């Protein structure tokens, strides 16, 4: 038998950015809520499995017991509110992201035109507010790449007209 032997330098350890996962709800007794919780939990698990340190993942959900890692400990940081999202984008993410380490925001809930429901119809996220917070973060971290995934009804309203999240350096799905 013949063998070839090669030595190559390993790629440097990956640099992980930040992942903000937001699972909202429309009402307390909602037949779809279990699906929202399961999907957001799987998204948390995905980032964790990819090697993201726990401190690089901020998980906001109304179900504080969700355990994306399966270790018996809840992984949800806090319930999703406008203030918690603002702080996550403008303060928490700023300590992790760089021009080489992107921010990924994953949102899943019910929605309406220009509304992503966090907890009922009175507590929602507006694309103009999120855009303002992202602009603030981008001012603090030049050349930052941002990925935004919105899974809700009327999610397309987050990229149309005056309240659009779209701009160079952002991927909006």
pLDDT of residue 96: 98
pLDDT of residue 172: 96
pLDDT tops 90 at residue 15: no
Mean residue pLDDT across the chain: 94
pLDDT in tens, 71-124: 999 999 999 999 999 999 999 999 999 999 999 999 999 999 999 999 999 999
> Helix, strand, coil: what percent of the chain each, to 5?
30, 20, 50
pLDDT of residue 8: 80
Residue 167 phi, psi dihedral angles, 5° rounding: -175, 165
Q: How far apart are CA 35 and CA 48, in angstroms?
A: 20
Tell me the percentage of the chain whose pLDDT exceeds 90. Answer: 88
Geometric angle at alpha carbon 25, from 150 and 97, rounded to 5°: 45
3-state secondary structure at position 57: strand
pLDDT in tens, 128-161: 999 999 999 999 999 999 999 999 999 999 998 7
pLDDT tops 80 at residue 12: no
Quote the distance between the C-alpha of residue 149 and its chain's center.
Answer: 7
What is the torsion angle, in degrees rounded to the nearest 10, for the CA atoms of residue 128, residue 151, residue 115 and residue 172? 20
DSSP 89: I
pLDDT tops 80 at residue 14: no
3-state secondary structure at position 148: strand
Q: How far apart are CA 158 and CA 30, in angstroms?
A: 24
CB contact burial 61-88 (16+ within 10 A = b; e otherwise): bbbeebebeeeeeebbbebbeeebbbeb
pLDDT tops 90 at residue 163: no
Average the pLDDT over 22-41 and give the result: 95
The pTM for the full model equals 0.92
């Amino acid at each position: 038998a013949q063998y070839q032997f090669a030595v190559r330098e390993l790629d440097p350890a990956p640099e992980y950015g930040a992942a903000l996962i937001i699972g909202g709800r429309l009402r307390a007794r909602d037949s779809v809520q279990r699906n929202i919780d399961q999907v957001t939990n799987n998204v948390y698990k995905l980032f964790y499995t990819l090697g993201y340190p726990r401190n690089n993942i901020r998980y906001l959900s109304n179900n504080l017991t969700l355990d994306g890692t399966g270790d018996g400990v809840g992984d949800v940081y806090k319930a999703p509110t406008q203030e918690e999202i603002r702080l996550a984008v403008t303060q928490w993410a700023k300590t992790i992201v760089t021009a080489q380490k992107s921010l990924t925001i994953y949102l899943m809930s019910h929605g309406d035109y220009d509304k992503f429901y966090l907890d009922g119809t009175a507590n929602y996220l507006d694309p103009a507010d999120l855009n303002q917070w992202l602009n603030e973060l981008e001012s603090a971290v030049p050349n930052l790449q941002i990925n935004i995934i919105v899974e809700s009804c009327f999610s397309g309203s987050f990229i149309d007209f005056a309240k659009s999240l779209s701009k160079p350096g952002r991927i909006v799905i």
